[in-house]
Structure 1
């Protein structure tokens, strides 16, 4: 009897290869063209809150208000999993959509797509989480960030390689208009690895330890 293949990892990531000439002009100025969408991403990706005052003259009769910011929901899901063994679906959807948006910006910066990142359309980037429901271990979220330390070390070196690959690709696009397929596959694999670690250690959507591989 043949051994049963393990189920696919519950985080799927892929980028459609641009099998066409890429825009040389926007690729050349990518460090500048990306600035507006990075600012937009920063407004929803940074977490926290700030207190201020609304109304009143010289502080008289002023009301204190809290200006909330977005960001990856970590502590909320952690507490819900710990005490209720539940991951609220709308928190799950928020984290998924935020990671999709962040990945579209990253893919644009890495020259893997010359279409400007959309705030809602998936474009060439596909990122999916399998909703865990009530299947998560209630205590693992406390230590997942620590268990993922080996991945942080490996990703540090993989990201160095990805930066070198993008620099080489920048010259390749300027001269040929094409993204070398081996470099594309490598950068895509690094982003896939990063997304699996993020899903495990920070968005907490799975208890399965991320595999040490670039491939799907």
Structure 2
């Protein structure tokens, strides 16, 4: 693999801690996000079917159909916004939009660079065999799956600690915020890889903080 590709991250996850935050709104957010969870259940069912179709498209053409790719990116974006609002971060009180689009003004954002070509060989093994070590890691700190998104575990524990700190001090601890975003970023990178949206293996690295380098086109070697 060309080492120059390291300057072209295929998955970019950014987040901004909103201030001020309500001391007590987090107690009822589980109710407020129920409409989103209902929609996301159906979106993630569609996500699975789209990924299966993309699997065969990549196997025969080395390409992920752009319309299908954009849909799956939209599902991941929607899930990330809802997670950020609710119990994977609790870092904003701004209600997530019902949207598959990028929503650049929302404090939680996600972009995945469209790959012009993907490996036929990797598509056969990356979503199960190669991703097993990553699944074991994220299961430890991200818990289980709910409405298509990992929840529970270390991430939720840290988020609840931040919520109690917010309730009693009026402040969301910055150190917890950057760690929680880093954990979510790791999960999203694995989700993008396992759903065949990139051939770049997720790094075993906790990139903390709210900002990442912008997504740039990912050069592809001639085959």
Q: Classify the TM-score, shorter chain.
A: 0.7 to 0.9
Give distance in 2, aligned partners of 1:149 and 1:10.
20
Q: Does the aligned pair in 2 maintain the 1:15–1:188 contact within 8 Å?
A: yes
User: For 2:169, which of 171, 176, 179 is the aligned residue?
Assistant: 176
Give distance in 1, aligned partners of 2:192 and 2:114.
11
Segments of structure 2 that go 5 or more residues without pairing to the other structure are: 143-152, 213-223
1:144 aligns with 2:126: yes
User: For 2:47, which of 71, 82, 87 is the aligned residue?
Assistant: 71
Displaced runs of 4+ in structure 1, greater than 4 A? Answer: none
Q: TM-score normalized by structure 1?
A: 0.81
Specify the alignment match of 1:61 in structure 2: none
Report the structure number with the largest CA radius of gyration. 1
1:115 aligns with 2:86: no
Structure 1 position 105, deviation (Å): 0.8
Give distance in 2, aligned partners of 1:126 and 1:188.
11
Equivalent positions of 1:55-204 (< 5 A) are 70-72=46-48, 73-110=50-87, 111-120=90-99, 121-122=103-104, 123-133=106-116, 135-145=117-127, 146-159=129-142, 160-202=153-195, 204=196
Specify the alignment match of 2:13 in structure 1: 13
1:213 aligns with 2:205: yes
Specify the alignment match of 1:55 in structure 2: none
Structure 1 position 200, deviation (Å): 0.7
More relative contact order, 1 or 2 (CA 8 Å, 6+ apart): 2
Root-mean-square deviation (CA, aligned residues, Å) is 1.8
Q: Does the aligned pair in 2 maintain the 1:92–1:131 contact within 8 Å?
A: yes
Q: TM-score normalized by structure 2?
A: 0.78
Give distance in 1, aligned partners of 2:160 and 2:126.
33
Q: Does the aligned pair in 2 maintain the 1:81–1:138 contact within 8 Å?
A: yes
